[in-house]
Amino acid sequence: MSGDADRRHPVDGDIGQQEMAPSKKGAVLVDGIILNGPTTDAKAGEKFVEEACRLIMDEVVRKATDIHEKVCEWQSPEQLKQLLDLEMRDTGEPQDRLLELCQDVIRYSVKTNHPRFFNQLYAGLDYYSLVARFITEALNPSVYTYEVSPVFLLVEEAVLKKMIEFIGWKEGDGIFNPGGSVSNMYAMNLARYKYCPNIKEKGLSGLPRFVVFTSAEGAAPFLVCATSGTTVLGAFDPLDEIADICERHGLWLHVDASWGGSALLSRKHRKLLHGIHRADSVAWNPHKMLMAGIQCCALLVKDHSDLLKKCYSANASYLFQQDKFYDVSYDTGDKSIQCSRRPDAFKFWMIWKALGTLGLEERVNRALALSRYLVDEIKKREGFKLLMEPEYANICFWYIPPSLREMEEGPEFWAKLNLVAPAIKERMMKKGSLMLGYQPHRGKVNFFRQVVISPQVRREDMDFLLDEIDLLGRDM
């Protein structure tokens, strides 16, 4: 008790005034820290948020559709280190300086919401998703129990139910995860758990060696993973044929539809995923084609016998008490390998509420129509060559500069063509006019991969894309 008495005692107003303003009479001091009243200046904080939001509106949101803005302000890593004040110091910095730093962050970041950003499988700005993200960042929830996240758990339940409906299942389960790769990992573990439910108690050492595909070495196949919308080519596996094999041999069928799953919302294009209702699990990322904002990724499971929870539950007694005063079936966090989990479904829910199913369908249809337009233009233009006819929104093509157009397509031709896409990419990045991905793939030398997503993209942007590539590469 004597130690506590030494550490904790009232102090007079003079000492309190040194520690905080305004001073507090009868302040309590513990370990040299005054405990009375908050130490955060709420008014100053609110002003900072208001000014930062104004900056975001002016420099990000309002400029999102301006084609005259640069897609990126390219700087080398060493140059960027000099331009940005990255050092963290012992004392805090004034808010005016913090706003300047925010301005710098925006200036030198890639504008993924720009109409001419085609570099990844995400792009554009959805205003409703953005507001949803503002709300969740401000509330800072974690979606594991109903008591701390009631609204967002119900939202996730509603969104999962609707996604399951579009897959074609009558019932099912699911969870939002931090990425399609995590959803695929979940599915693999679920398949293994269903095949061998005692794995959580026995571990791997007492089990046969598992393989994902059939093996002649005495191993036990348990999972087939099909893809609906590959990352590079946008290709779709024949799900019905694969499902026939899985049913014949009792294998779990998982479909990675992270990219292509959004075609399910289009009555015109959902045939790309014909047979997906026969899958045992599906990964689907609304943050891609549907622009829900990174990250927004769901794993959907046909099983409705709590397999997801049985496989992943840790029964943490400090979170998932079974004697709570409400229905604990809403404490869905025990289905996840995460403890803290973001309310990512809310962004997708907000978009769906704002646009409706028909609006989401139009978003998919328009992206694929623009892709079709670009394909037709590539076929018309000298110096452009399609890698293949696309199935989805991935348009893969080569640009052949004038110096190579009369050359025979032998080893020397392909070696030289391999250098073209990287060189043009460097020029476009340094100019800031657009961003477009490239890669080699399965023996094919470097080619461009153009992906159409954002509804802010126009036909004119497709024309500009081809014109700009020709402009940047014609002297090669």
pLDDT value of position 6: 43
CA atoms within 13 A on the CB side of 222: 18
Q: In this predicted model, which residue has the larger pLDDT, 202 or 2? A: 202
Global pTM value: 0.88
Confidence label for 12 from pLDDT (cuts 50, 70 and 90):
very low
Strand pairing partners for 227?
256
| Residues ≥6 apart with Cβ < 8 Å to 265 | 166, 290, 357, 360, 361, 364
Please check whether residue 337 lies inside any domain of the structure. Answer: yes
CB burial of 393-430 (b: ≥16 within 10 Å; e: otherwise) equals: bbbbbbbbbeebeeeeeeeeebebbeebbeebbebbbe
Q: Which amino acid is at 413?
A: F
Please check whether residue 438 lies inside any domain of the structure. Answer: no
Confidence label for 262 from pLDDT (cuts 50, 70 and 90):
very high
| Residues ≥6 apart with Cβ < 8 Å to 99 | 48, 51, 52, 55
Average pLDDT of the residues in 21-38 = 75
Cα–Cα distance measured from residue 313 to residue 299, given in angstroms and rounded to the nearest whole number? 16
Q: Which of 20-34, 95-109, 138-152 has the lowest mean pLDDT?
A: 20-34
Please check whether residue 204 lies inside any domain of the structure. Answer: yes
Q: Over 70: is that where the pLDDT of 334 sits? A: yes
Convert the pLDDT of each residue in 342-375 to its tens digit: 999 999 999 999 999 999 999 999 999 999 999 9
Please check whether residue 52 lies inside any domain of the structure. Answer: no
pLDDT value of position 22: 46
Average pLDDT of the residues in 283-294 = 96
> The CATH number of the domain where 216 resides is what?
3.40.640.10
pLDDT value of position 215: 54
Convert the pLDDT of each residue in 373-413 to its tens digit: 999 999 999 999 999 999 999 999 999 999 999 999 999 99
Rg of the chain's alpha carbons, rounded to an integer? 27
Please check whether residue 184 lies inside any domain of the structure. Answer: yes
Contact between 126 and 351 under an 8 Å Cβ cutoff? The reply is yes
Please check whether residue 167 lies inside any domain of the structure. Answer: yes
Q: What is the DSSP letter of 31?
A: T
Average pLDDT of the residues in 138-146 = 94
Hey, what are 396's tokens?
Answer: 């893969």
Hey, what are 153's tokens?
Answer: 């758990």
Number of structural domains in the chain: 1
Confidence label for 1 from pLDDT (cuts 50, 70 and 90):
very low
Strand pairing partners for 435?
117
Lookup result for tokens 């030494």: 6
pLDDT value of position 23: 53
pLDDT value of position 8: 46
Please check whether residue 367 lies inside any domain of the structure. Answer: no
The boundaries of the domain holding residue 249 are 140-348
Please check whether residue 29 lies inside any domain of the structure. Answer: no
Q: Over 90: is that where the pLDDT of 38 sits? A: no
Convert the pLDDT of each residue in 45-84 to its tens digit: 999 999 999 999 999 999 998 999 999 999 999 999 999 9
